[in-house]
Structures are given as structure tokens and as C-alpha cells.
Amino acid sequence: MSNILIINSGSSSLKFKLINMPGEKVLASGVVERIGLKESLIFYESGSIYVSKKTNIPNHSSGLKEATRLLMDYHTGVIKNQDDIAAIGHRVVHGGDLFYDTCLVDKKVKEQIKNLFSLAPLHNPPNLTGIEVAEEIFPNTRQIAVFDTAFHKTIPLKARKYAIPNKFFEEHKIELYGFHGISHKYVSQQAIEYINKPNSKIISIHLGNGCSMTAVKNGESIDHSLGFGPNNGLIMGTRSGDIDQSVIFFLIDKLGYSSQEANQILNKQSGMLGLTGNSDLRDIEDRAYEGDESCKLALEMNAYRIKKYIGAYAAIMNGLDAIIFTAGIGENSSKIRELVCKDMEFAGIELDNDVNEMGSDEIREINKPESKVKILVIPTNEELEIAKQCYQFIQ
């Protein structure tokens, strides 16, 4: 039996979970939310112990140190010292063409993760920070990296390759890599078991501060909304998603922005933040309920983009058995689910609005009984998926 500490550093959050493997028993878990915003939130749970507080967490390093303090604290902790941890598993967003499997972190791996910063500017930096802080706090513990891009290695060449000169694919490996693979893999496997159909056609919709969709056919990823970097596809918290590339040239050539400034705009100043002034959907939904027109429009735009991808992925799979809503927004925003599923009866998608409003921590159907397509809300569990891969690695 081994204790595996999972560290999942997102763009504005840090999840952590201590899991005893192979029994999959969660000893403690928590999340630091709204990192870098005015008022950060910390939640921690271990058995009957529950901690919830607001504080200032300026960066991911501070967040991870606070999480570790809770794990080792006399009153709230579940471990006495570093030796109680067999391995620390880290979610790393972008593995480029170098990492398609779980690997032990060493100096070379960290350098390669850093070299991929430009492809995942909101995620690889905090991912690496998580590794470096964990090395500092747990110097004798094995650090293991699990890559979000790995699940998408089954995407066929016709979907993976861009219509640009071949040399950029052959010499520079410019292609669709895909992200959120740990989450999409976990929830799609859960869905396959739930509907009891291995040869299934599923669309996994991961909605958080970062958002993506995956077409999963027979358990394998065959297309994905994010691409070479994590800024394509859906409208996200601070990222634009799909945009005419001419806009980028206009920003640089006509408006005088540098390429770095244009990248900053599209990655950190766009999306829901650019449309409303807020990146947190909870704030946006509250303002929309109060009548804010910019927030109403932003929610409609968000759902509209998701609908387009549902139609596209149903087409390439020649049918659809289920759609999955997962991650923070997908699991908790009944409003987004309602807007996405509205007027989708032609595709066999019929939402039960009453059931949609009900909350649950378990997998659940929110479709009408007569709906041809199952509409599933499945809590993602990237940490458990990472723990499984880490435990297999250290055996």
C-alpha cells in the first residue's frame, strides 16, 4: 500500500488529494481557488475535519505551501513527515511530441516542460511550479508527471494535421495535441460503463476556467477542440477560443501590438473576462440574473460555441450515444447545461429541466426518458486517474 499525493495545478486553481493505493482510499483532499484574485478560497477535508477559509493566495507556490501545511498540521493533517508519501503525481498540461507516457521527473524533464511554456502559457508554468515546490518540501519523494496530451495520441492524422506547408509538421511538429486528456479519459470511461456500450459515440464537454470538447469513439479520442496550444475551440475564462487568425495579424500589423502582447490579450484578457470583466462564471451568472446584458450575451455566446462542436463531432462519428458535462462549470452550472441543450431535439438531445436543477456528487442523467442521447453529468476525477497511473509506475 502506498500514499500518493496528487497535485493538479490549473490556471487559477490548485487541487490536491492524498490517496492510498491500490485501495483508492482518499485520506485528504482540498482545493485552492481564485488564485491571484482579490479573495482566494481554500477548502480542505479529511474524515470529519473540514476547513474552509478566505485568504490571499497570490500565486501557485503560496497555494501549494498552504495545502502542504494542512496535510502535515498536528490538528488537520494525515501525515507526520515526508516519508509518509511514496510518490507525488503532477498533472502537466502540454507534453508536446516528447511525452506520451507517465514519467519520473528529473532535471531534463523539467527543462522540457519549461521549453513548452509558450504552447501552454497559463498551465505549464504553474505545473512546473507545483513540481519545484513539491521537490523543495518533499526532497526525497519521487515526483511523477502525467500529461494531459497523452489521451489524444489516438487522434487520426486527418484530424491532427493542419493545412499548412508539410515542413512545419515534419520539422517543427506543429499539430493538434489536445488537452484535458486525463479528465476526458476518466469521464468517458465512466460513461461507457454507465451506458454499458463499449462501442459508443460520446462527446465529453470539459468546462472549467479552461474548456474543451472531445469526440470519443469506442473509448478513444478521435478529435478535440483544443489544438497546438490550449487557446482554441470554446470560449474560456480568459482565453478567446476559436478566432480568425487575421485578427492576430491586425492586432500586430495595424494596431501596433507586439506578438507577445497579442498572445497576452488572447490568453489572459479575452474569453469571458474580455466580454464581461469577470472570468469566474459564478459572478457572470449572478450579474446576468440581475439583468446585465453583457453577461447574458456572454453566456449565450459560450453555449452557442459548444453547440457548434456538438454538431461537428456528431457528424464525424456518424451518430451520438451520450454527451458528458464535467469539470467545475459543467458539473455545477445548470444554466450553461440548459443553454447548450436548448433546441437540440433534432439531434436527439432532450434535457429534463427539473432534473437538471438537482445537484449531486454522483454520475447522473439529466435527459428526458424519451431522449435518444443520454445527457450525463459526471464529476471528473483527474486526481484518481493520476494516482492510478502513478501507482502502476512505481510498482
Helices (H), 25-123: 60-72, 107-115
By annotation, the residues acting in catalysis are 148
CA-to-CA separations, 317 to 36, 215, 229, 322, 329, in angstroms, rounded: 40, 8, 24, 12, 25
Amino acid residing at 117? F
Amino acid residing at 41? L
Q: Is the dihedral of CA 251, 257, 260, 263 positive or negative?
A: negative
* Binding-site residue positions for Mg(2+): 8, 382
* Sheet with 14-21: strands ordered across: 49-55, 40-46, 25-33, 14-21, 2-9, 87-92, 142-147, 103-104
* Binding-site residue positions: 8, 15, 91, 206-210, 280-282, 328-332, 382
Helices (H), the chain: 60-72, 107-115, 124-137, 157-160, 166-172, 181-195, 245-249, 259-268, 271-276, 281-289, 293-317, 327-332, 334-341, 353-356, 382-394
* Binding-site residue positions for ATP: 15, 206-210, 280-282, 328-332
CA 127 from centre of chain: 13
Q: Which three cell numbers stand for residue 228?
A: 497546438
* Binding-site residue positions for substrate: 91
